[in-house]
Amino acid sequence: MRRGTFDARWRVHDPASVSSTSRISTQLRRAPTRYEPLGLIASGGVAEVWKARAHFEDGGTHLVAIKRVLPTMGQPLFQAMFEDEARLGMLLNHPNIVRVYDARDISGTFLMIMELVDGDSLKGLLEQAHARSACMPVGAALYLARELATALDYVHTARDGAGNPLGIVHRDVSPHNVLLGRDGAVKLTDFGLADATVHETARSEDLVGGKLGYLAPEIIRRERADHRVDIFAVGIVLWEMLAGRRLFQRASDIETVKAVAACEVPSLRSLNRSVSEPLDRLLRQVLEPDPNKRIGSARHLAERLDLLLRQTDREVSHRDVALLVGLHLAQKRPRAAGLDGAFADLLAEELERFVVQANEGASPLDPTEFTALGATGRRPPQL
């Protein structure tokens, strides 16, 4: 595939059937006929995310999220990394991971069509709570951390249809990239900095990805880093949910880096008496500066968190997350997000007539099937 373009006939290998030893190939199916932009959800230094409505040939619609690389980030490196992110995203299929449906290059604008999570990021909830020095309920925090660890277990152990490890490390686990839905969904997103064997773009060894306050000490020390950096990041997120404040974040980047390198983690029980000794002990094992002494797998972490959750509150479920999100959104001041004129025109003029042509014999993706993919995360039919 030529760098800088998205081919409608990508062939991807679905890792969802980990036990299968046969090579599974799927093709991108025909996408909706057009997308209608509804409003800006979030914007960062490299890309922005829009809420949009997908329109289908039979008149059906479905809400989606569209991520686009900002026009100012048109360098080949960022375009290539975006392709890698889209390719990897379409491989991943798990209830706790945001689905990627499609990716396109339209007139030099790189777009990724994704599952829309109606709610907010964990960052939004924590910023509001930390402003009041408030802690998240222990049961809800354990539930969120367990769901995140479950997603990472899937990611770290994913294989392609031939049984080859994909070698995925997210490298940017933080509250910014954990989305919480009004329905209680907990979903990991943004694999733009991830390592994976399917990537076609080599990452520089000097590239330090991720947000400084959620890096593992071995990254600061420029030592070899593996999937255990994601486990460390989950520990930071859990600590901050229960402490009511940031762990390593300081007034400047230099001070933050020094705090990560020192890796001094206050006991949670000294800050929150609702935290049990077993939970405090688990966090010390997760936030161990030496990765060889740290809990070694996301699966082990998920099992430990699940045990603590059953001991703390067996009734905690997605309904508790839905309640937290609902309360958060009720307190959040509505923000008006106007449409960017150039982007709106691009979608209206280009996407309306831009229909992805799949290989001969491929059938259209109808609205009910599209909804099923977003709602259940099941695999698309094999062609």
Q: For the chain, what is the largest distance between any 2 Cα atoms, rounded to a whole number of angstroms?
A: 64
Distance, in Å, from the CA atom of 361 to the CA atom of 133, rounded to the nearest integer, reads: 58
Q: What is the pLDDT of residue 323?
A: 94
Residue 344 or 296, more confident: 296
Q: What is the pLDDT of residue 78?
A: 74
pLDDT at 286 over 70: yes
pLDDT at 329 over 80: yes
Residue 104 or 256, more confident: 256
pLDDT band at 102 (very low <50, low <70, confident <90, very high): confident
Residue 200 or 17, more confident: 200
Residue 319 or 76, more confident: 319
Percent residues over pLDDT 90 in the chain:
55
Residue intervals of the chain classified under CATH 3.30.200.20 are 11-117+336-376
Distance, in Å, from the CA atom of 219 to the CA atom of 216, rounded to the nearest integer, reads: 6
pLDDT at 316 over 90: yes
Three-class DSSP category at 223: coil
pLDDT band at 345 (very low <50, low <70, confident <90, very high): low
Residue 322 or 333, more confident: 322
- Whole-number mean pLDDT of the chain? 79
Contact 148, 178 (CB under 8 A): yes
Q: Which two tokens stand for residue 56?
A: 């289908």
- Nearest Cα neighbor of 184 from 102, 112, 117 is 117
* Helix or strand holding residue 85 (H, E): helix 76-91
Residue 136 or 42, more confident: 136
Beta pairing class for 119-121 and 11-13: unpaired
Q: What is the pLDDT of residue 72?
A: 67
Contact 238, 145 (CB under 8 A): yes
Q: In what order do the strands lie in the sheet with 61-69?
A: 34-43, 47-55, 61-69, 109-115, 100-106
pLDDT at 202 over 60: no
Q: What is the pLDDT of residue 73?
A: 62
Distance, in Å, from the CA atom of 208 to the CA atom of 200, rounded to the nearest integer, reads: 19
Angle formed by the axes of helices 122-130 and 318-331, to 10°?
60
Q: What is the pLDDT of residue 161?
A: 82
Distance, in Å, from the CA atom of 64 to the CA atom of 67, rounded to the nearest integer, reads: 10
For residue 333, what are the contacts with CB-CB under 8 A and spacing of at least 6? none
- Nearest Cα neighbor of 229 from 241, 239, 215, 249 is 215
32-60 confidence digits (pLDDT tens): 778 888 999 988 777 889 999 988 888 88
Residue range 337-351: mean pLDDT, rounded: 51
Distance, in Å, from the CA atom of 283 to the CA atom of 243, rounded to the nearest integer, reads: 12
Bridge partners, 67 (sequence order): 49, 112
The answer to whether the Cα torsion of 123, 210, 257, 288 is positive or negative is positive
pLDDT at 271 over 70: yes
User: What class does CATH assign to 119-331?
Assistant: mainly alpha
pTM, rounded to two decimals = 0.79
The string over 304-317, giving b where at least 16 C-beta atoms fall within 10 Å of a residue's C-beta and e elsewhere, is: bbeebbeebbeebe
- Nearest Cα neighbor of 53 from 32, 36, 72, 69 is 36
Distance, in Å, from the CA atom of 260 to the CA atom of 210, rounded to the nearest integer, reads: 13
For domain 11-117+336-376, give the fold: Phosphorylase Kinase; domain 1 (3.30.200)
Three-class DSSP category at 101: strand
Residue range 200-218: mean pLDDT, rounded: 73
pLDDT band at 337 (very low <50, low <70, confident <90, very high): very low
Residue intervals of the chain classified under CATH 1.10.510.10 are 119-331
For the ranges 129-133, 232-236, 341-345, the maximum mean pLDDT occurs at: 232-236
